[in-house]
Amino acid sequence: MGSLSSQLPSPSPAHPSSTTTHKIYASFCTAIISNWIECYNPSVNVWHRVTTIPGLIENQVLKGFSMVSIGHFIYIIGGRLCQKLSGHEPDEIFEVDLEVLPRVLRYDAVNDVWSKCAPLRVPRFDFACTVCDDKIYVAGGQSKLSGACGTSSAEVYDPGLDEWKLLPNMNMLRYKCVAVTWQGKIHVVGGFAEKRDVDRKIPSWGMMERSSAEVYDWENAKWDVIRGMWQLDIPPNQIVAVDDKLFSSGDCLNAWKGHIEAFDGKLNIWNEVDGSHLETLSSPVSTSVANWPPIKRLYLTMAPIGTQLYFLAGYRMPGEISRSMCNVHVFDTSANGDGWTSLEPIDEEGEKELCSHCCVLRQPQM
């Protein structure tokens, strides 16, 4: 298990460089193994395990946290602490929620050192999180284990000061919302949302709230509502920015809709990206083979690098219980027509669960 350092050297901002490589980091767990972090190297199409998240005892896992990067540091923020317990039947595992954490950890990917950061002002899980100007912004989420009710609170972390500062509350209570920095502004999109009303005893969720977004107005220190920015009442899975465009591949119930969509800010609508259909992201193995059951996708996460979108997907192999497969597909958003490149599948031992969406680190070549 990784050790924790109490020292917090100030992270230096990441500067673009022609000698910079990009690596993708993601956190996984299994039914019996607590969270670890793996690194995917796009240049050689290889995963390797780099560290475990400290502070978790046996059979404990962290869910619903956010994982972001600044420079060569990875931040693990908040989350829902669970315990894995064995059921009465063989191989039966179930989760028991323990608590919502305000904890924030930082991993130095260069020196392989964990550090404790100042905790969140409001503990939360399933919240929106993004980085802007080397500061971390979080908004919404759930602060309690009981009841399906979000929070409107938001806060910002300054790594140089190791300090969280509360921001004005959003206009709506939200959880399972996503955040993205776009056109220099913090956008919190979708989620299970309801209007703030302290007198309302029964939550009132509507399509209008859940399909809306909120944008932070720096000048007036308040959140502005954009109606219909998401258009669905099911929360988005991921929204990422590439150049000046936003891209999505699905929602939290269907992470891959069969194609990629781009947001048209002028018309406030999502349009299918030409040439973005890819059937093998739904199932990399033909289910027409006799006696083969439909293949199950175990995880899917998307990472932007330059003009490319990396889709990292794990699948259960047909007829296998101790072996799975990772497929990486790359879509070039600047291509005309078919922009897909599919890399060689990677065999993996066992079945692992993605615990948070991935993040990308820029790493200077030595």
Whole-structure pTM value: 0.90
Q: How many Cα atoms occupy the beta-carbon half-sphere of 302 within 13 Å? A: 24
Lookup: tokens for 193: 């949302």
Distance CA(26)–CA(39), nearest Å, equals 7
Which tens digits make up the pLDDT trace of 308-330? 999 999 998 776 667 889 999 99
Q: Mean pLDDT for each consecutive 10-residue tract of the chain (366 residues)? A: 55 44 95 92 95 93 97 97 80 85 97 98 98 98 91 97 98 96 96 71 62 94 95 93 96 95 94 94 66 79 97 85 88 92 90 94 71
**DSSP letter (8 states) at residue 52:** E
> Mean pLDDT in the chain?
88
Which tens digits make up the pLDDT trace of 179-237? 999 999 999 999 998 876 555 554 555 567 889 999 999 999 999 999 999 988 899 99
Distance CA(287)–CA(347), nearest Å, equals 19
Distance CA(75)–CA(261), nearest Å, equals 28
What's the CATH number of domain 122-235, 3.30.365.10, 2.120.10.80, 1.10.3720.10, 3.40.50.300? Answer: 2.120.10.80
